[in-house]
Amino acid sequence: MTNTEKLKDLVVDVFLIDPKEFRVDLKREQIETWDSLGVVSLAVGVQETFGQHFTQDEAIGITGIPDVIKVLEARGISFDA
C-alpha cells in the first residue's frame, strides 16, 4: 500500500467521506465533517498510520490534505505514486 493510499484510507475513515471523493488537493472547506474533533482525530490517525506527531503549530495550520502531505514530506515520507 502506498503512502497516498494510506492517507486516503485515513481521511475516508476520519471524515466519513466516500473513497471516490478523496483527492490529494482537498481543502477543509470541501469536507463538511472537518470540525474541531475531526482535526484531533486526523492528528491521532497520522500518528498511528505514519508514526508522526503534529506539533501544535502544524495542527493549527492544517487547512486541507495538501498541508498534511507537506508536513509529512518534510519528515521524509514520500507521497509519490
Partner 1 sequence: MTATGVVMLIERGPRENMADLERHWASARTFAYVQEKSAAAAPWLSGIQEQIPAPYRENHFCLLTSGSTGAPKLVIGRKHNSEELARVLHRVQDSEPVRETIVSLPLTYCYAFVNQWLWSRVMHRRLVLTSGFAKAEIFREALRRADNAMICLVGPQAALLRNMFGAERFPGVIRLHFAGGRFPQEQLPALREMFPNAAIFNNYGCAEALPRLTLRRAEDGDAASDIGSPLPGVHLKSGPAGELLFRSPYRSVAQLDSHGFRQIAPHEWIPNGDLVRYEGNGRWQLVGRAGEVFKRYGEKIALQQVISTVNRQWSGQIGYYREKDAAGEDGYVLLLSPQPSEENLRGLMRVFRSSHPRTHWPLRIESAAVLPLNSNGKVDSLAAQSMEHRSLLWRQRI
Q: For residues 50 and 31, is the Cβ–Cβ distance under 8 A? A: no
Binding-site member from 5, 13, 30, 70 for partner 1 (CB under 8 A): 13
Q: Grid cell 519528515 — which residue?
A: 75
Angle separating helix axes 65-74 and 3-15, nearest 10 degrees: 140
Binding-site member from 41, 64, 66, 77 for partner 1 (CB under 8 A): 41
Q: Alpha-carbon distance 8 to 74, whole Å?
A: 19
For position 24 contacting partner 1 by CB under 8 A, the verdict is no
For position 80 contacting partner 1 by CB under 8 A, the verdict is no
* Residues at the interface with partner 1 (CB under 8 A): 13-19, 28, 32-42, 44-45, 48, 56, 59-61
